[in-house]
Structures are given as structure tokens and as C-alpha cells.
Structure 1
Amino acid sequence: MRIVAYSDEKFTSKVDEYVVMLNPEQIKLDRSINYNEEQAPDSGKLSSKYRSTPGEKLSFDLVVDCTGVVDSTRTDMPTELNQLQKVVYTYNGDIHRPNYVIVYWGQGLSFQGVLTAFDTNYTFFKPDGTALRAKVSLRFTSYLDPSTAAKEEDKKSPDLTHRIAVVEGDSLPQISQQVYQDPDLYVQLGAFNQLNKLRNIKAGSVLSAPPLRSQGEQA
């Protein structure tokens, strides 16, 4: 595993890196979706309405072993921890914040984000109290620069015309829900694409999904 520091939010200007001594035993990647619970019309049941998708979270524990067993050239605990802190935690005066980082591990796996927590637990010492081994718990949250995030939001906006590739099992109500968050717009969607059969659409075909509004909604 390598943790590479960048000085810009587009991750193009590398400034430093840390190569871990021992790969973590486990790596946890958390994803979540936020919903608002709303009462469905003419029903006492609650309906989950999509609100947002928070950034992904990455967490893992690193063992820093300075006994000389793992690597005889890396036996100074302060040096190891200072380098790790410099990469992920220390305030960078050139950009007025800690670095942006990409965590690389495995075959082509990576995580682009920023550090949110850095916890150190010293676990083994010399008789004189010098620390020889520590467990460092790191937590990161994903990061996307504002301009790229805005472009991605625009691509998903129902106010733009989309090209939708139909896959097996798709239906117009499903596509209408995906694009407009309203399955009832499937009739308008079918009419725009000049479809005679509204519920049976052919896999492999491409539909155009223009800006649509529910009846009575202001355009």
C-alpha cells in the first residue's frame, strides 16, 4: 500500500508519499445513501425519498513495526510516524490545509480523498520505554473538486436531455423514476420517443429523455 500526497484538489501535483511497512489486514469501504421519510399521498405509510449520496469512507489500521524484523532499515518510530503525518495529516502552508491524498493498494485499487482521523496506539516498547511498534488507525472521506462535482451533478440533472441505453428488464416507468424521480412521466417519455408500446421496450435501444414536468408543475 502507498499513500500519496497532492497539493491540488485535482490530484495532479504530487508532493510526497508514504509506503506502508505492512499491508493492513482489513480495509473497510463504506457507502451510504440518505433519504427523507415522507408520508405517501392518501396513505398512512412512509415513503423514502432520495435526498443525497454522501462521500465514501475508507478506514484501515496500519502496523508500524520498528523492531527491525520487518525492515532492518526502518527502525526509528518517530521518523516513521512523522513521515506518515506529513503526508496525510500535517498542515501544508502552501495550500493552507492538509494534503489531498490517494491511497493505492492491490491491483489497480485506489481511493481519492482527505484524512478525517489519525489515531495512534503504541503496543510494544524497549525496556527503557522507547516505542518499537504502533497501530495507526486512519480514516478518510472521498473528495471530488467542486468543478468536477458540479459537472457530474449537471449530467444527472432532469433539466438536461439524457441518452438512456435500455438494458434487459428496463421499463419506461423505471427509467422515468431514474431520470425524473417520477414514474408517472413514462407516458410523456414514451410519446417523445414515438413508442407505440409504452411498457415493453427493447433491450439495446437508446431513448432520449428530455426535460419533463408533472402535470400542473411549473416548467
Structure 2
Amino acid sequence: MASLELMKITGYTDEEFQNKFSENPYAFMINPDNIKIQKGIEYNEQQAPATSSASQKYKSTPSDKLNFEIVIDCTGIVDPKRIDMAKEITALETIIYTYNGKIHRPNFVKIQWGQNITFNGVLNSIDISYTLFKPDGSPLRAKISLSFSQYISPKTVTMTDGPESPDLTHIVNVTGGMSLPQLCLKTWDDDSLYIQVAKFNNLNKFRNLDGINKLIFPPLSNTN
């Protein structure tokens, strides 16, 4: 008989999910009954002249959302070794919620359940409801609602999108000796957009880009 695989959450201190916050992930005591994954697409509605209805122009694909509820049971029935509710909540929050001063933000997190579910993301919200108490008022059981957004590093986004797409934001590496018009020509095949890119990045120069490693090239619709 196969052993029970518990869902676990691991914290990471880098956006590429290479450096673990701790070697010990947080393993849930009881797996969730269901998991909700939300995907969506955003559009700008544009109405062409002499038409009665608006057309939808692709705007962006927001990050996926992952939502589920878990139960922490410290009655000793589920796991006789895990009966300290405060310890359980602190261990979970330290990985997914608490501000990490070394990276100046909460950790990035990887949610894993067996071989089929892996989700790299960041916490959106945590909602804790205590549902069972000792006579002295200390909680024995908690229902926790968790919401995460998928996180993909800017480097990965750029590689996935492809630098030729005009409707997506790009993070462009500045190559030594290249001017802003040349970068616009390389990225969009149009060197006339350098003024808009300079304004978007608050640049007061466009030929000598020494000291600048990366620039944000917004969607062409945002540069007009």
C-alpha cells in the first residue's frame, strides 16, 4: 500500500527558486479536499469606426491563481507529536508570509503535492479560522484559506514571450555600445520609438547608455 503523500510548502529566497529558505518544508497535517486553479486573459475593448460592437484586443495574461483550504488539528488525533497550534502557525507563516529581511520581502514559495502538482508562486492572502478550543480558550483546530499567485521571474518571462512581440512588456539587456534607437530596432524593428522608451524609463540620454544594465520596453500600446 502506497504511503500518504502530504502537501508541502517550501520557501525560496530567489525568484528562480534555486535557494531554499530552509531545508525543512512545511508539511500539512491533512491534505486539502479540493484545489482551485484560476486562469484568465485580459482584453481591451476597442470599437472600430462605423461598427456597432467593440472588438477585444489582447492586453495581457495575468498570473495563475491557486486557492485551497487546509486544516491544522492539534488534538493529537492526527499526529500525537504535533499538538502545539502556535508552533504550527508560526512555522507556516515564517515560510509563506513573514517579511524576510535578507531579501526585503516575504519568501517565494513552491507548493508540491506528490508528482503531479507543483506551483511556484507568492502568497496573496492567508485567512485563519479557529474552530475548536480547549477549556482555557487555546485553539486546537484551525481552518486556513490560502491564496497564491504564480510567480515567473522577469528573465523567464522575457525568454517565453520572445523579444519580437509588440504587445508584451520586455526586460531588455543593454549591450555595451548600443544606443537606445538601436535597441528599439533590435526589439521591435522600429528605431523611431526610442523617445517613448526613454520617457518610460526616465532616461535623459539615448546614445551613451553606460551604467545601465536593463531597460523596460512597455507594450507598444503604452508607448503611444
TM-score using structure 1 length? 0.69
The offset of 1:156, in angstroms, is: 6.6
The residue aligned with 2:199 is none
The offset of 1:62, in angstroms, is: 1.0
Distance (whole Å) between structure 1 residues aligned to residue 48 and residue 138 of structure 2: 63
Identity of aligned residues (%): 50
Q: Which of 18, 42, 49 is matched with 1:12 structurally? A: 18
Q: Secondary structure at the match of 1:129?
A: coil
Q: Which of 97, 103, 111 is matched with 1:103 structurally? A: 111
Matched, 1:94 2:102: yes
Aligned AA for 1:147?
K
Q: Secondary structure at the match of 1:22?
A: coil
Q: Secondary structure at the match of 2:162?
A: helix
Q: Secondary structure at the match of 1:150?
A: helix
Aligned AA for 1:99?
N
Q: Structure 2 matches for 1:37-186, cutoff 5 A?
A: 37-154=45-162, 157=165
Moved more, 96-105 or 148-157: 148-157
Q: Secondary structure at the match of 1:69?
A: coil
Unaligned stretches of 5+ in structure 1?
Answer: 160-219
The offset of 1:158, in angstroms, is: 6.5
The offset of 1:41, in angstroms, is: 4.4
| Runs of 4+ more than 6 Å apart | none
Aligned AA for 2:89?
L
The offset of 1:42, in angstroms, is: 3.4
Distance (whole Å) between structure 2 residues aligned to residue 88 and residue 6 of structure 1: 9
Number of residue-to-residue matches in the alignment? 159
The offset of 1:48, in angstroms, is: 1.1
Instruction: Sort the Cα spacing of 1:103 and 1:133 in 2 relative to 1 into closer, same or farther, 3 A.
Output: same
Matched, 1:30 2:31: no
Provide Cα deviations, 1:200-219, integer angstroms capped at 9, x if missing partner.
xxxxxxxxxxxxxxxxxxxx
Instruction: Sort the Cα spacing of 1:155 and 1:105 in 2 relative to 1 into closer, same or farther, 3 A.
Output: farther
Q: Secondary structure at the match of 2:160?
A: helix
Tell me which structure has the larger Cα radius of gyration: 1
State the superposition RMSD in angstroms: 1.5
Aligned AA for 1:139?
S
Unaligned stretches of 5+ in structure 2?
Answer: 1-6, 168-224
Aligned AA for 2:16?
K
The offset of 1:27, in angstroms, is: 0.7
